[in-house]
């Protein structure tokens, strides 16, 4: 079973993504902070991480992404940034942090499912 880690500080967003992904056969993991995301990602090694940028704590999504991509054990995890920050500069910053893809909130649930299906 493929693992997907949803990282967002908003419970409503995590629930929406979980419901969206319920049609697939995935193990869904959740984190609400960057620190929690790193811990779970390093322990569980998910196939995909859906990563918010703006979160409480000391680590934002860019920090989490860079950290995971610089770690030999987690560098191959496919990371999709999901953020309300949709300016070109924000997207460039996400790609510079080595994110594999970038979706701007609000995003199309069907586009997200299609993207995940294509990755897996």
pLDDT of residue 49: 98
Sketch the domain layout of the chain as residue ranges: 2-119
User: Which pLDDT value is given to residue 88?
Assistant: 86
Dist. CA 50–CA 56, nearest whole Å: 16
> Is residue 1's pLDDT more than 80?
yes
For residue 108, the model assigns a pLDDT of 85
Cβ(66)–Cβ(46) under 8 Å? no
- Lowest-confidence segment of 12-21, 43-52, 69-78 by average pLDDT: 12-21
64-92 pLDDT, tens digit each? 999 999 999 999 999 999 888 878 888 88
Q: What is the pLDDT of residue 87?
A: 84
Q: Which CATH architecture has domain 2-119?
A: 3-Layer(aba) Sandwich (3.40)
In this predicted structure, the answer to whether residue 109 has a pLDDT above a threshold of 80 is yes
pLDDT at 25: 86
DSSP 97: T
10: which strand partners? none
Of 74, 73, 81, 118, which Cα lies nearest the Cα of 99? 81
């Amino acid at each position: 079973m493929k693992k997907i880690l949803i990282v967002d500080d908003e419970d409503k967003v995590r629930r929406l993504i979980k419901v969206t992904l319920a049609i697939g056969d995935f193990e869904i993991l959740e984190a609400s902070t960057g620190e929690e995301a790193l811990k779970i990602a390093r322990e569980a090694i998910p196939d995909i991480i859906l990563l918010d940028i703006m979160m409480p704590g000391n680590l934002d999504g860019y920090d989490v992404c860079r950290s995971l991509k610089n770690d030999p054990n987690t560098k191959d995890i496919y990371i999709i940034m999901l953020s309300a920050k949709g300016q070109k500069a924000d997207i460039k910053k996400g790609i510079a942090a080595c994110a594999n893809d970038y979706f701007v909130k609000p995003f199309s649930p069907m586009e997200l499912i299609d993207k995940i299906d294509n990755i897996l």
